[in-house]
Amino acid sequence: MSFWRRREESLVVGAAGLALFLAAFLPLAWTFIEAAAADPPALRRGLAALKAARPWILLGRSLTLAAAATALALLLGVPLGLLLGKTEVWGRRLALALQALPMSLPPFLLGLGWFYLFGAQGFVGSEASRRILFSELGAVLVLGLAFAPVASSLTALGLWGVDAALEEAARVVAGPVRVAVRILLPAAWPAVALAALIVFTLAFSELGVPMFLRVEVYPAAVFARLGGMDFAIAEAGFLTIPLWLVAIVLLGIERSLFRRRSFAVAGLRGRSAAPLPLGRLRFPAAACCWLATLLLLAPILSLAARAGRGGGFSAANQWLWPSLANSLILGCAAASLLAVVGAVLGHAAARRRPGEKILDGLAALAFLAPAALLGVGLTAIWNRPPTRFIYGGPAILVLGFLARYSIVAIRSFAAVLAQFSRDLEDTAAAFGAGYLRRFLGIVLPANFRGLAAAWILAFVFCWRDLETAVLFYPAGWEPLTVKIFTLEANAPEAVVAALSVAQAAATALVLALGFLVWRRKAPW
């Protein structure tokens, strides 16, 4: 037996880990490297930037805004998830599927949609509604509604994972409301808590909505030092130090509350209990659910109406296709790389191989860390003469997506493998198959749908990304989200709206494709 064959697993996992290390660890660690190596003037400037009151006020505002948006998303999303996931509300699956669309769009686009509705010139807007929209409250409302589907979907998913026997045993002795509140929701709490963590992370990282609504937030202050007149990369590095604290706290919460549980979020049982009967509440509950779904879709409908009214679709052509192609190329490349890394590291995580906790923790940290922290690090590491070929081309965006979203691919594939009998792999090992033969011949083909789902999920995250890409997109490689963001201030509203509708339509297409892949029965 050859030396290499015995080390296949170590080599493959090591290569995936190295990719993650280069993409995520180096940029994240850069803040400390830079601070340690800073010359005295740079150190003074950096410390002065941190000593000023302004950054801390902004940090406090960002944290408050993210917390309020999370509270709103949970307040709306959890009951919605409960009703759509577990009761006999008419069209509940369709409503959940429709909510996947706003969830897969950058919140900035939804903010635009709300602006076309409630801006001073909006369909139902007035000066008063404009004032509310362009305020901290407006940012909370836009972000809370944008992320509510994350809470509803994860709650529904968590409820589907609850053992049917637990629910049925409770149904024998208690009414549906008591069963829902006392048994189902507590049993599904990891999913709800995970939703809270994800929403908080995304809301805290969000750049597009606060910048559009003229609400000053901390990540925007860092972003300002990465481009234009205020370019000051070293100062930006110092400003990322408080973001580290936020990231570490979030990682601590994630480690202590979820890690293994998050693998089981997708662990749907084969048998599910009958939907909870709502009795007289059936019609009002259905009406509430569908009204809420319409509320979540309202900004997309508003975008479509705005684009149609001003002839935006024909005028948007010149910007649409190059940016759409960029998004598609970048999304496909990054999702493919993420699927490979996610499959290898997800397998290592599910099988608890040595070192998997460190790699999983690093991937989680890169997602939980605000995008600005990662963006500053990536810019500082790769924007140097020897690596300009990476920084100046699409590779830097692929690296950024790999760093930020690897946890999505790792966890989703690990969740799939958690349902996959380990005996299938052990038998193959006993029958003489080494790691690669087992991985390529048994694990991947037998879990092909799971792998495809991980790819599509990773693609959607890259496709909807604005906050990472906007920090360091190279010239000529703007994804559609960035193009819309940069055009928003200068192009006619109808054109911006049309581009946003194109983004939404393409997203819907990807989601439909994902749904078909997931629904497709395996040939065996």
Partner 1 sequence: MVTPAIALEEVFLNYRDVPALAGLTLEVQPGEILALLGPSGSGKSSLVRLVLGLVAPARGAVRLQGEAVSREGRILKPPEERRLAVVFQDLALWPHLTVRGNLEFGLKAQGLPAAERNGRIGRMLGRLGLQGKERRFPGELSGGERQRVAIARAMVLEPRAVLLDEPLASLDASLKHEMLFVFRELLKERRLAALYVTHDLREAASLGDRIAVLERGRLVQTGSLEQLREAPGSEFVKALAGDLFWMGGSRA
User: Which residues of this protein are in contact with partner 1, per CB under 8 A?
Assistant: 1, 6, 421, 423-424, 426-434, 437, 441-442, 445-446, 448, 522-524
The values of phi and psi at residue 402, to 5°, are -60, -45
Sign of torsion, CA 482 487 493 499?
Answer: negative
Q: Which is nearer to partner 1, 279 or 445 (CB)?
A: 445
**Continuous H helices in 383-468:** 388-391, 395-418, 422-430, 435-438, 444-446, 448-464
Minimum Å gap between C-beta 441 and partner 1 is 6
Residues 6+ apart with CB under 8 A from 373: 28, 31, 222, 240, 243, 244, 247
The letter for the amino acid at 398 is V
Q: Which is nearer to partner 1, 97 or 446 (CB)?
A: 446
* Distance in angstroms (rounded) separating the CA atoms of residues 122 and 134: 13
If you compute the radius of gyration of the chain from its CA atoms, what whole number of angstroms results? 23
Instruction: Give the 3-state secondary structure of residue 488.
Output: coil
Q: Which is nearer to partner 1, 282 or 437 (CB)?
A: 437
Minimum Å gap between C-beta 444 and partner 1 is 9
Q: Which is nearer to partner 1, 280 or 352 (CB)?
A: 352
Q: Which is nearer to partner 1, 89 or 451 (CB)?
A: 451
The letter for the amino acid at 385 is P
- C-alpha angle 147/467/414, rounded to 5°? 65
* Token representation of residue 108: 């900035």
Minimum Å gap between C-beta 523 and partner 1 is 7
Minimum Å gap between C-beta 215 and partner 1 is 50
Minimum Å gap between C-beta 446 and partner 1 is 5
Minimum Å gap between C-beta 422 and partner 1 is 9
Q: Which is nearer to partner 1, 172 or 430 (CB)?
A: 430
Q: What Å distances lie between residue 107 and 114, 327, 484, CA to CA?
A: 10, 17, 12
Residues 6+ apart with CB under 8 A from 476: none
The DSSP string of 133-175 is HTSHHHHHHHHHHHHHHHHHHHHHHHHHTS-HHHHHHHHHHS-
Q: Which is nearer to partner 1, 7 or 214 (CB)?
A: 7
Q: Which is nearer to partner 1, 389 or 448 (CB)?
A: 448
Minimum Å gap between C-beta 16 and partner 1 is 20
Q: Which is nearer to partner 1, 4 or 389 (CB)?
A: 4
Beta-bridge mates of residue 87: 276
Minimum Å gap between C-beta 273 and partner 1 is 25
Minimum Å gap between C-beta 233 and partner 1 is 48
* Distance in angstroms (rounded) separating the CA atoms of residues 265 and 81: 14
In the block, residue with structure tokens 């009967």: 277
* Distance in angstroms (rounded) separating the CA atoms of residues 110 and 301: 10
Beta-bridge mates of residue 276: 87
Q: Which is nearer to partner 1, 41 or 523 (CB)?
A: 523
* Distance in angstroms (rounded) separating the CA atoms of residues 411 and 417: 10
Minimum Å gap between C-beta 18 and partner 1 is 23
